[in-house]
C-alpha cells in the first residue's frame, strides 16, 4: 500500500519518535534552514506537540510520542510525517501503536537510523510502504545537500523509476556544530563486492536497529525475492557489524535475499572496504548474489531516499553497477 505522492500545498508534520528536537547540536539556525527548505518545496510545515519534551534519555514518554504519531496520521491536512532525528528508543513504541489507525490513514513516513524500527514495523503490520531518508535535522545541512534533496523529491513527489547514481562529494563526520568547517571528500563511487543481477522487494535500513526486531511480529514476512539495503553507524565496529549481519541471516526472510546494497560506512567505524569484503565473503548465505557497497545512504551525507517495501533492480558486472527503484 502506497500513500499518495507529495505535491505543493501538502502538509508535513515533524515528530520526535526517538530523540527530541532539543538536542544541543540542533541549533536555531539549523532548524530555520530545515523549515525553509521544506517550505521551498511548497510544503506546509507543522510540529508535533511533544517534540520539545526532553527527559534524561533525550526523549519523552511513550504516551507523548505515540500521541504525536497518531495525531499526525489522523490529520487530513498532513501527507508527510518527517522525524526530527534518530536515537535509541523507537522500538519502545511498537506495541502501543494503533496499526489499524495507520492503515486507515496512509501517509508518507520518512526517517532513518533508529527510525528503521518504526518504519519497518509499520510496513510489516500494515503493508504501508515507508521510507528511509533524511530527517528534519538533515534538511538543515548546508553542504552536499543537493543530492539528498534531489532523491527525496524523486522518491516522494514523483512516480517515475529512479536510477540511483553516486554523489560527487560526501561528508564523513558529525557536521551539525561545525558546518562551515566540514571536510568535503571526493566520492570514489560504489564498490562491487560480488557480481550478478537481482530484483525484488526492498527491506532494510539500519542494521543494528533491525537486530532489535528479530523474532518479533515487527519483522516483515516476505515470500518474494528481497533486495536488502543495509547501513550502520560508527558504533558498529567490524566485529559488531559481522555478528549483526550474521544474526539477520538467521531470520526466515534471509532465504529470500537475492541482492544486497550497503550504505557508506563511517570512517570511525573502522569498517574498511577490505574488512567488509571479508565479512561478506564469510557468509555462505550470501554466495552468488550481487553485493554493492559505499552507496549514498546511512550516517554519512548526502543520502538517497529509498522505499521500504518498494521494488528495486540491481546489477553488478565488472566495473559497472546500477540500482533502480522501479516501484516507490
Kindly report the CATH number assigned to the domain that includes residue 70: 3.40.50.10740
223 catalytically annotated = no
pLDDT tens-digit readout, 18-50: 999 999 999 999 999 999 999 999 999 999 999
Structural domain includes residue 173: yes
Residues 323 and 175 in one domain: yes
Q: pLDDT value at position 236?
A: 80
Residues 176 and 323 in one domain: yes
C-alpha cell at 239: 566485529
Residues 190 and 64 in one domain: no
Residues 296 and 247 in one domain: yes
Asked whether the beta carbons of 204 and 229 are under 8 A apart, the reply is: yes
Q: Which domain holds residue 96?
A: 11-140
Burial grade of 58 (CB within 10 A; 0-12, 13-18, 19 or more):
middle
Residues 93 and 206 in one domain: no
Asked whether the beta carbons of 91 and 212 are under 8 A apart, the reply is: yes
Residues 174 and 296 in one domain: yes
Q: Cis check for the bond before 302: say yes or no (omega within 30 of 0).
A: yes
Strand order in the sheet with 78-83: 44-47, 11-15, 78-83, 108-111, 130-132, 306-308
In the set 132, 231, 244, 269, the catalytic residue is 231
Q: Domain ends where: 125, 140, 155? A: 140
113 catalytically annotated = yes
- Domain of residue 206, CATH code: 3.50.30.60
Residues 175 and 102 in one domain: no
- Label residue 176 by pLDDT band (50, 70, 90): confident
Q: pLDDT value at position 177?
A: 86
In DSSP terms, 202 is beta-bridged to: 227
Structural domain includes residue 158: no
Residue 312 predicted with pLDDT over 90: yes
C-alpha cell at 100: 489499524
- Label residue 318 by pLDDT band (50, 70, 90): confident
Residues 92 and 174 in one domain: no
pLDDT tens-digit readout, 58-88: 999 999 999 999 999 999 999 999 999 999 9
Structural domain includes residue 146: no
Given phi > 0 = left and psi -120 to 50 = alpha, else beta, which region is 42?
A: left
What value does the mean pLDDT take over residues 181-190? 94
Structural domain includes residue 296: yes
Q: Domain ends where: 105, 140, 175? A: 140
What value does the mean pLDDT take over residues 142-150? 96
Structural domain includes residue 5: no
Domain count, the chain: 2
In the set 20, 90, 113, 132, the catalytic residue is 113
| DSSP code per residue over 125-182 | HH---EEE---TGGGG--SSHHHHHHHHHHHHH--S-EEE---SEEE-S--TT-GGGP
Residues 187 and 322 in one domain: yes
More confident residue, 305 or 174: 305
Residues 171 and 229 in one domain: yes
Q: Domain ends where: 76, 106, 140? A: 140
Structural domain includes residue 157: no
Residue 233 predicted with pLDDT over 90: no
3-state SS class at 23: coil
Q: What is the pairing mode between strands 184-186 and 291-295? A: unpaired
What value does the mean pLDDT take over residues 126-137? 98
Residues 179 and 314 in one domain: yes
Structural domain includes residue 1: no
What distance in Å separates the CA atoms of residue 181 and residue 313, rounded to the nearest whole number? Answer: 38
Residues 218 and 258 in one domain: yes
Structural domain includes residue 248: yes
46 catalytically annotated = no
The model carries a pTM of 0.96
Amino acid at each position: 500500500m502506497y500513500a499518495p505522492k507529495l505535491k505543493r500545498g501538502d502538509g508535513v508534520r515533524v515528530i520526535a519518535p526517538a530523540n527530541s528536537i532539543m538536542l544541543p547540536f540542533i541549533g536555531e539556525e539549523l532548524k530555520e534552514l530545515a523549515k525553509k527548505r521544506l517550505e521551498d518545496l511548497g510544503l506546509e510545515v507543522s510540529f508535533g506537540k511533544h517534540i520539545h519534551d526532553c527527559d534524561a534519555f533525550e526523549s519523552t514518554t511513550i504516551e507523548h510520542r505515540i500521541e504525536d504519531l497518531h495525531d499526525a496520521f489522523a490529520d487530513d491536512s498532513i501527507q508527510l510525517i518527517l522525524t526530527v532525528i534518530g536515537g535509541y528508543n523507537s522500538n519502545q513504541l511498537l506495541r502501543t501503536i494503533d496499526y489499524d489507525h495507520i492503515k486507515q490513514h496512509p501517509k508518507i513516513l520518512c526517517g532513518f537510523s533508529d527510525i528503521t524500527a518504526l518504519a519497518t514495523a509499520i510496513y510489516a503490520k500494515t503493508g504501508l510502504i515507508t521510507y528511509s531518508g533524511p530527517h528534519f535535522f538533515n534538511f538543515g545541512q548546508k553542504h552536499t545537500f543537493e543530492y539528498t534533496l534531489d532523491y527525496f523529491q524523486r522518491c516522494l513527489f514523483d512516480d517515475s523509476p529512479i536510477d540511483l547514481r553516486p554523489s560527487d562529494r560526501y561528508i564523513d563526520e558529525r557536521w551539525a556544530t561545525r558546518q562551515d568547517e566540514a571536510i568535503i571528500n571526493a566520492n570514489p563511487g560504489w564498490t562491487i563486492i560480488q557480481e550478478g543481477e537481482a530484483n525484488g522487494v526492498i527491506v532494510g535500513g539500519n542494521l543494528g536497529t533491525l537486530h532489535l526486531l528479530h523474532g518479533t511480529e515487527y519483522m516483515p514476512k516476505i515470500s518474494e525475492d528481497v533486495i536488502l539495503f543495509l547501513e550502520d553507524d560508527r558504533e558498529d565496529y567490524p566485529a559488531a557489524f559481522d555478528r549483526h549481519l550474521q544474526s539477520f541471516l538467521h531470520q526466515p526472510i534471509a532465504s529470500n535475499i537475492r541482492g544486497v546494497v550497503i550504505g557508506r560506512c563511517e570512517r570511525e567505524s573502522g569498517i574498511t572496504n577490505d574488512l567488509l569484503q571479508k565479512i561478506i565473503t564469510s557468509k555462505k548465505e550470501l554466495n552468488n548474489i550481487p553485493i554493492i557497497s559505499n552507496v549514498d545512504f546511512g550516517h554519512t551525507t548526502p543520502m538517497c531516499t529509498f522505499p521500504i517495501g518498494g521494488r528495486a533492480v540491481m546489477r553488478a558486472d565488472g566495473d559497472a553497477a546500477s540500482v533502480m527503484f522501479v516501484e516507490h
